[in-house]
Chains A and B, each alone.
Chain A
């Protein structure tokens, strides 16, 4: 039962392709989910009796159910509606990749909205009062005061969420997407040795996690230098 590193050498390109797909999934879901979360958090903090419960219900539902179930609901579920298959939307929804992107984006937007909501509440009241005293209100207040401060407060928690999103992207392999985990699984199924490809994939995930952590720490250092401990 020795480890055979030559397997990894043979299949290295496949693993790297899988990694590229993983990073694409990550980037796309962040690009869609991030702004969506900001919109949700802003709408939520408006405390409208109509919107707030809806957004709260949205966040509760998507945080309270497994991502896998959300993914299956999207990928397998919408095949149930015959009328959907005639619409151009079907071209998107029958692709595992895009279902994964949508599911990941919506899921991360729910978690991020909650993080941002907490961060918005944590913005020092005095600064908001001063801004309002200067006549700022509405979108200008958000753009100049609330969002910059809230985003900085949210950075550590958001960094954590991005790492979790990276791990969540591996679930896309259950709906035919050949990202890193899917690629490792294919190699395992072809060579019958589970260790080499799975361990190699695990190592690659660790490398990406490490890099992401470093990037976030650098961003935190840059944006909130006063908070860093020596």
Chain B
């Protein structure tokens, strides 16, 4: 092997270094992380509403959803949605254009985001459900006595308090989703872990690169935790500290 390149050269941006490939991967990972979490939160609110609804069918769907995600490994869910999803969409398309012409090529990023949002949604459902149930029921009763209808109760009473109560749990889910983005690399998306794998095998320096990858993930986690700390401080103002 030729002279070992210095660490600085190895990670530099530009032709000789892997810095730009890694940064590109980091950008994909960050987008994947934030987007899936945002969609997951929306799914979570809907799911929590379904779990607490009067309709048994809705409750059953939500229960099955969270049980499956809680009991089945994320990588399996991602495989199912990624490989299976393409086939489902293809079958649907075949209804319109016929078997031969139906070909669906799902963009890896979209598939990864959908899969991750699916998993995140189940976790968020549980967080929101707990938060909704934590709002003192007396407040809802008082609101109903004042003649407020459901959407108004949601907007005025539930949502502001639920968001505050759910914040720590949501923060936890946010950090979990960050680690789950690594799993998306196995379906071939060019995110951070995959970029690192490519760099590692090309340079025959896997330890160096995977260690750097771990340090990068730690940095992301730390940054997120700092952000969450300030968020919790801001929105927990005026609450009794236990």
Contacts of A209 in B (CB 8 A): 70-71
Contacts of A181 in B (CB 8 A): 73, 75-76, 79
Inter-chain contact A68/B211, CB cutoff 8 Å: no
Chain B residue nearest to A204 (CB atoms) is: B72
Q: Could you say which of A123-131, A134-142, A194-202, A219-227 contacts chain B?
A: A194-202
Contacts of B222 in A (CB 8 A): 64
- Taking the complex as formed, is B140 at the interface, i.e. its CB lies under 8 A from any CB of chain A? no
Chain B residue nearest to A209 (CB atoms) is: B71
Contacts of B161 in A (CB 8 A): none
Q: Could you say which of A29-37, A43-51, A75-83, A149-157 contacts chain B?
A: A75-83
Inter-chain contact A76/B206, CB cutoff 8 Å: yes
- Taking the complex as formed, is B207 at the interface, i.e. its CB lies under 8 A from any CB of chain A? yes
Contacts of A94 in B (CB 8 A): none
Inter-chain contact B182/A78, CB cutoff 8 Å: no
Inter-chain contact A167/B72, CB cutoff 8 Å: yes
Inter-chain contact A205/B179, CB cutoff 8 Å: no
Inter-chain contact B206/A66, CB cutoff 8 Å: no
| Shortest distance from the beta carbon of B137 to any chain A beta carbon, whole Å | 19
Contacts of B77 in A (CB 8 A): 202
- Taking the complex as formed, is A73 at the interface, i.e. its CB lies under 8 A from any CB of chain B? yes
Question: What is the interface of chain B, defined by CB distance below 8 A to chain A?
Answer: 67-68, 70-77, 79-80, 83-84, 87-88, 91, 175, 178-183, 185-186, 193, 197, 200-201, 204-208, 210-211, 213-214, 217-218, 221-222
Taking CB atoms and an 8 Å cut-off, the chain A residues in 176-229 that contact chain B are: 181, 184-185, 188, 194-195, 198-199, 201-202, 205-206, 209-210
Contacts of A184 in B (CB 8 A): 76, 79
CA distance A167 to B180 in the complex (A): 12
| Shortest distance from the beta carbon of B227 to any chain A beta carbon, whole Å | 15
Inter-chain contact A72/B210, CB cutoff 8 Å: yes
Taking CB atoms and an 8 Å cut-off, the chain A residues in 143-176 that contact chain B are: 163, 166-171, 173-174
Number of A-B residue pairs having CB atoms within 8 Å of each other in the complex:
122
Contacts of B205 in A (CB 8 A): 80
Inter-chain contact B87/A194, CB cutoff 8 Å: yes
Q: A167-B73, A167-B74, A199-B80 are in contact. Are A81 and B213 (CB under 8 A)?
A: no
Inter-chain contact B72/A202, CB cutoff 8 Å: yes
Chain A residue nearest to B225 (CB atoms) is: A64
Q: A77-B207, A209-B71 are in contact. Are A201 and B193 (CB under 8 A)?
A: no
Contact of B83 among A64, A170, A194, A202 (CB under 8 A): A194
- Taking the complex as formed, is A104 at the interface, i.e. its CB lies under 8 A from any CB of chain B? no
Q: A76-B206, A79-B206, A168-B73 are in contact. Are A194 and B79 (CB under 8 A)?
A: yes
Inter-chain contact A198/B79, CB cutoff 8 Å: yes
Inter-chain contact B183/A73, CB cutoff 8 Å: no
CA distance A174 to B222 in the complex (A): 27
Inter-chain contact A69/B73, CB cutoff 8 Å: no
CA distance A77 to B203 in the complex (A): 12
Contacts of B210 in A (CB 8 A): 69, 72-73, 76-77
CA distance A194 to B82 in the complex (A): 10
Contacts of A201 in B (CB 8 A): 76
- Taking the complex as formed, is A67 at the interface, i.e. its CB lies under 8 A from any CB of chain B? yes
| Shortest distance from the beta carbon of A13 to any chain B beta carbon, whole Å | 20
Inter-chain contact B206/A77, CB cutoff 8 Å: yes
Inter-chain contact B179/A66, CB cutoff 8 Å: yes
Contacts of B68 in A (CB 8 A): 202, 206
Q: 10 smallest A-B Cβ distances: which pairs?
A: A170-B73, A66-B182, A209-B71, A77-B207, A194-B83, A66-B179, A167-B73, A80-B207, A64-B221, A73-B210
Inter-chain contact A163/B71, CB cutoff 8 Å: yes
Contacts of B185 in A (CB 8 A): 68
CA distance A173 to B78 in the complex (A): 14
Q: Can you give 27 A-B contacts (C-beta < 8 A)? A: A60-B218, A64-B175, A64-B218, A65-B214, A66-B180, A68-B183, A69-B210, A72-B206, A72-B210, A73-B211, A73-B214, A76-B197, A76-B200, A76-B206, A77-B206, A77-B210, A171-B183, A173-B75, A174-B75, A181-B73, A185-B79, A194-B80, A194-B83, A198-B83, A199-B80, A202-B76, A206-B71
- Taking the complex as formed, is A133 at the interface, i.e. its CB lies under 8 A from any CB of chain B? no
| Shortest distance from the beta carbon of B65 to any chain A beta carbon, whole Å | 13
Contacts of A205 in B (CB 8 A): 71-73, 76
Contacts A194-B80, A202-B76 supplied; 15 other A-B pairs, CB < 8 Å: A64-B221, A66-B179, A66-B180, A72-B197, A78-B207, A80-B206, A80-B208, A81-B207, A167-B72, A169-B73, A173-B75, A181-B75, A188-B83, A195-B80, A209-B70
